[in-house]
Amino acid sequence: MSKVIVVTSGKGGVGKTTTSASFSSGLALRGNKTVVIDFDVGLRNLDLIMGCERRVVYDIINVINGEVTLKQALIKDKNCDNLYILPASQTRDKDALNLEGVERILNELKESFDCIVCDSPAGIESGAFTAMYFADEALVVTNPEVSSVRDSDRILGILAAKSKRAVDGLDPVKEHLLITRYDPKRVEAGEMLSVTDIQEILRIPLIGVIPESESVLQASNAGTPAIHLDKSDVAEAYRDVVGRFMGDERLPMRFVTVEKKSFLKRLLGGR
Amino acid sequence: MTIETDNSNVLDPNTQRQNPVSQVLPTFRPTMIINKPVRTGQRIYAEGSNLVVLGVVNAGAELIADGDIHIYAPLRGRAIAGAQGNENARIFVHSLEAELISVAGCFKVFENGIPENLRGKPVQVHLDGSDLIIQPLLS
């Protein structure tokens, strides 16, 4: 049974596309046939993060309009065998997406993929709505600051009231909280909301905490999803998220407390 | 609502139920019960009835009832009771962290935060003349 997973947040710049790229790569690495769809029509970014921008010929709007087949528009990922990317259009706007067209594409993808990851645009307008409407599960990406938490709260309200599952009276969309750009040091200093503060407000199960890291920016610029960065905290954290998503609930929550530096590390001046 | 049929203590089988004499029913609407979180941007209106909320009411959410409002969770958004002008309406909150509370059009915002003795406490809110009274509930 294939799953449609939306990566959403309400607020922009919190790490939706970074998460979509790493999460879908992680699913593919674990052997799931995965496709990741960029719903940010007009502000196409996912192809840059995945490093396939030069291979984009056709996009989701071409498929919706019936100009090309789905097979022609799908791009195979360079790092994972099981992963395909369906890019957004850069020259159109969000109105070019329509629910019927998206549903047709999703149904066709469900025939050959296990996981369909939808990278939602920011906001709560038609683009974000279309991305979440058909979701079975949702990764709600939140930064540890009040405006991001409030926007996530808004998105959760919309998921619970207006998604297809809600409208059809099926089981509700399964919600997962993913906290990104988390800095335990700043939490201890009282400058950032803690995991507990965020959970107290949003009250949905936590699937992972991604630490703030410089390597994310480097990975984005290099067109490699952060999960492929060997030995980085971010890659480990995303692997944990994928593990928990696949049902491994025993994984301990890492990167939520300040790491005590060993004597040797301090002596060598490592960061 | 379910009624247990085998509970014979409740009603003696020999007892005759008296049929209601008149058919005039009071204008009564059942309480609206919300058992999920009420999230920012959501508005719930219990028209002509009381409202009971079991989930958290987050900042930016709005509860409106023509009758009373009971919230058995933190209230961080707005609660407006007696929306049609019922001055006897009351608000009961398990943990007061609200942005705004109002009874029959008399409202209070907490610009400087909620007073220490009421913040995060169980309280009830009612109207005394034109004064909105917030009192801690007896524990």
**Within-domain flag for B10:** no
Residues in chain B: 139
pLDDT in tens, B47-81: 999 999 999 999 999 999 999 999 999 999 999 99
Domain housing B116: 32-136
Chain A contact set for B40 (CB, 8 A): 150, 153-154, 157
**Within-domain flag for B48:** yes
Across the interface, which of B36, B41, B56 has its CB nearest the CB of A154?
Answer: B41
What is the pLDDT at residue B2? 41
Q: What percent of chain B has pLDDT over 70?
A: 81
Whether the CB-CB separation of A120 and A6 falls below 8 Å is answered with yes
Q: How many interface pairs between A and B have CB atoms less than 8 angstroms apart?
A: 31
A interface mutation test: which of B36, B40, B56 has the most A CBs within 10 A? B40
Using the beta-carbon criterion (under 8 Å), do A161 and B42 form an inter-chain contact? yes
Cα A5 to Cα A120, A138, A171, A207: the distances in Å are 10, 5, 15, 14
Q: How confident is the model at residue B111 (pLDDT cuts 50, 70, 90)?
A: confident
A205 interfacial to chain B (CB closer than 8 Å): no
**Within-domain flag for B73:** yes
Using the beta-carbon criterion (under 8 Å), do A150 and B36 form an inter-chain contact? no
What is the pLDDT at residue A267? 67
Q: DSSP per residue over A126-153, as a string? A: HHHHHHHHT-SEEEEEE-SSHHHHHHHH
**Within-domain flag for B13:** no
A263 by Cβ neighbours in 10 Å (0-12 / 13-18 / 19+) ranks as exposed
What is the pLDDT at residue B10? 46
What is the pLDDT at residue A264? 65
Beta-bridged to residue B33, according to DSSP, are B52
Using the beta-carbon criterion (under 8 Å), do A160 and B36 form an inter-chain contact? yes
Chain B contact set for A160 (CB, 8 A): 36, 39
Q: Examine the pLDDT at B20 and tell me if it is beyond 90.
A: no
Across the interface, which of A150, A158, A203 has its CB nearest the CB of B37?
Answer: A203
The number of distinct structural domains making up chain B is 1
- Of the two residues B28 and B129, the one the predictor is more confident about is B129
Across the interface, which of A153, A161, A203 has its CB nearest the CB of B40?
Answer: A153
CATH of the domain at B108: 2.160.20.70
Using the beta-carbon criterion (under 8 Å), do A157 and B56 form an inter-chain contact? no
What is the pLDDT at residue A40? 95
Across the interface, which of B36, B39, B55 has its CB nearest the CB of A154?
Answer: B39
d(CA A251, CA A5): 21
Among A21-25, A191-195, B17-21, B38-42, the least confident range: B17-21
Mark out the alpha helices in A46-178 (DSSP H runs): 46-50, 60-64, 70-73, 99-110, 126-133, 146-162, 164-167
**Within-domain flag for B39:** yes
Using the beta-carbon criterion (under 8 Å), do A160 and B56 form an inter-chain contact? no
pTM of the model: 0.86
What is the pLDDT at residue B19? 55
d(CA B51, CA A16): 37
Among the listed residues B52, B66, B60, the one whose alpha carbon sits nearest the alpha carbon of residue B104: B66
**Which amino acid belongs to residue A150?**
R
**Within-domain flag for B42:** yes
Low-confidence ranges of chain A (pLDDT < 50): none
CA Rg value for chain B: 18
Structure tokens at A65: 């309009």
What is the pLDDT at residue A250? 87
Structure tokens at A139: 């990764």
**Within-domain flag for B72:** yes
SS3 of residue A231 by DSSP: coil
Average pLDDT of chain B, as a whole number: 86
CA distance A200 to chain B (A): 9
**Within-domain flag for B104:** yes
Using the beta-carbon criterion (under 8 Å), do A157 and B42 form an inter-chain contact? yes
Q: How confident is the model at residue B3 (pLDDT cuts 50, 70, 90)?
A: very low
